[in-house]
Amino acid sequence: MSGRTHARACPERSCVGCRERAAKGDLLRIVVIDGECTPDPRGTLPGRGAYVHPTLVCFDLAVRRRAFPRAFRGPGPLDTTALRQYVEQATP
């Protein structure tokens, strides 16, 4: 044996708001259901997912940059009101 420890690699994703890479567990997964951005905290909903830090700063930056329609490869703006409420409640 070489004496190396076998540490598991932690999956990383990019935040669509600030574009920084972070551990998958530190980010909030978002999916689109019927034209509405829906938070997926457990990461089990089907479909294409985008990730954002669960803070209002990153959320507002993603909305201002129009990152959600680009991430989901969809036409036009998406409804983000439910997502905003979720992020506001999650932020202390």
Structural domain boundaries in the chain: 12-90
pLDDT of residue 81: 93
Please state whether 34 falls in left (phi above 0), alpha (psi between -120 and 50) or beta: left
Token duo for residue 40: 């997926």
Are 38 and 28 contacting, i.e. CB atoms less than 8 angstroms apart?
A: no
Q: How confident is the model at residue 8 (pLDDT cuts 50, 70, 90)?
A: confident
> Strand 36-40's sheet: what is its strand order?
36-40, 28-33, 50-52
Per residue in 38-62, pLDDT tens?
999 999 999 999 999 999 999 999 9
Instruction: Tell the CATH superfamily of the 12-90 domain.
Output: YlxR-like (3.30.1230.10)
